[in-house]
Amino acid sequence: MAIVIGIFLGFLAYLAVKVVMSIYTVDQNERAVLTTFGRAERLEGSTLDDPIAEGLNDEEKQRYNYPQLRVIGPGGPYFKLPWQRVYKISVATQTLNIAFDPESASANNNNQVLEAVTKDQLNTGLVGQLRYTISERNLYATLFAVKNPIAHVMGYFVSVLRERIANFDAPQTPVVTESAVPGGSTVEPAMVQGISINDLRKNLRELNEQMDQECATSSARYGIRLDAALITSIDPPPEVESALAAINTAHNQVSSDISVAQAAADQRIVQSKRAVEIETLKAQAEVEPLNWLAAQLAELRKNGPSALPLYLRNIRLALYAKASHIILEMKK
């Protein structure tokens, strides 16, 4: 009898432990997926129906066609059956070094500096950070489709970044030049050939924006969304640092001389325009009395044919009064 009671109590204890183990909760920064006999509960549609797949081409859409899963949000307690399993994953934003290699701790200078080759065939070291978040809209790829999602994402990011570095072209800055013809300002592209490392350093923001655009499909590929790539430093090899410094000094000197010449030219143009305005005002001041006199004579002419001769007579008398000698022409 005691043996039966012991077995019964043991069975009850086993059931109690199973019940306790079947209760789970989901934290605020977590999402969970419940599987039954290894199969997750699926919803209608696939990732191709989601806007995250808009950037995929036709071949990629066939390769990265994942089902939509029922995602369990934060809260609880939830209950699961013994033959069910809960997969939890954090959806909090995380940050990694761009040189991080999840499969090798010694790669990329011990995961500190990522090397890349510029279009000038120079090895350069890249330092920066990568911010990413698990995509709640494609948990199937993260949990079941890809064995090591972060390794795939880092490999994809590094390959895209190296391709951008190797083919990066700095945007041309338009140069505005004044022309002697009124309204003849022209815009010409700068023709100075830049150094690739200098161009990369000056356009880090544009490079980061290009990386964000290139990696926009990572959510549909691996279920990880790249929030931002922040490349903070691009360092050339030590043996070319001094040469680059000399080139930069020369470029800065040329830019300074061009700025001084442009300023002098602008000043002369302004002075010329001001001189033209002054001479124009002088001419207008000389013409204005003549216009006024012509208007007065036209008004006098309206008063009759004798008005103008009388006006001329009065003018002559005023001149005779001021003159000390008068010379008259005699008619023969």
Q: Which CATH number fits domain 2-236: 3.40.50.720, 3.30.479.30, 3.40.1350.10, 3.20.20.70?
A: 3.30.479.30
Q: Binning pLDDT at 50, 70 and 90, where does residue 249 land? A: confident
The whole-angstrom separation of Cα 204 and Cα 98 is 15
pLDDT in tens, 67-117: 999 998 898 788 888 888 999 999 898 888 888 888 888 888 888 888 888
Query: Is 196 within 8 Å of 234 (Cβ atoms)?
Result: no
pLDDT at 12: 63
pLDDT in tens, 113-129: 888 888 877 788 888 88
pLDDT in tens, 201-239: 777 888 888 888 888 888 888 888 888 778 888 877 666
Q: Binning pLDDT at 50, 70 and 90, where does residue 303 land? A: confident
CA-to-CA separations, 129 to 149, 232, 233, in angstroms, rounded:
18, 8, 10
Q: What number of other Cβ atoms are within 10 A of residue 158's Cβ?
A: 19
Residue 86 pairs with which residues in a beta bridge?
A: 34
Residue 312 pairs with which residues in a beta bridge?
A: none
Span of 86-90, 139-143, 319-323 with lowest mean pLDDT:
319-323
Q: Choose between 331 and 305: higher pLDDT.
A: 305
Span of 5-19, 79-93, 280-294 with lowest mean pLDDT:
5-19
pLDDT at 173: 57
Q: Binning pLDDT at 50, 70 and 90, where does residue 180 land? A: very low
Among positive and negative, which fits the CA dihedral 325, 326, 327, 332? negative
pLDDT at 265: 86
pLDDT in tens, 36-66: 988 888 888 888 888 888 888 888 888 889 9
Percent of the chain with pLDDT over 90: 2
Residue 134 pairs with which residues in a beta bridge?
A: 224
pLDDT at 184: 47
* pLDDT of residue 192 exceeding 50: no
Span of 4-18, 173-187, 290-304 with lowest mean pLDDT:
173-187
pLDDT at 244: 64
How far is CA 55 from its chain centroid?
Answer: 19
Strands (DSSP E) found in the chain: 23-26, 30-36, 39-40, 42-46, 67-69, 75-79, 84-90, 94-97, 114-117, 123-134, 174-177, 186-189, 224-235
Q: What number of other Cβ atoms are within 10 A of residue 293's Cβ?
A: 10
Q: What number of other Cβ atoms are within 10 A of residue 21's Cβ?
A: 10
pLDDT at 187: 46
* 141: DSSP letter: I
pLDDT at 179: 46
Span of 128-142, 186-200, 223-237, 318-332 with lowest mean pLDDT:
186-200
Among positive and negative, which fits the CA dihedral 54, 59, 61, 66? negative
Mean pLDDT of the chain: 79
Q: What token pair was written down for 94?
A: 């995380």
Q: What token pair was written down for 78?
A: 């939830």
* pLDDT of residue 310 exceeding 50: yes
Find tokens 């999840």 and name the residue. Answer: 102
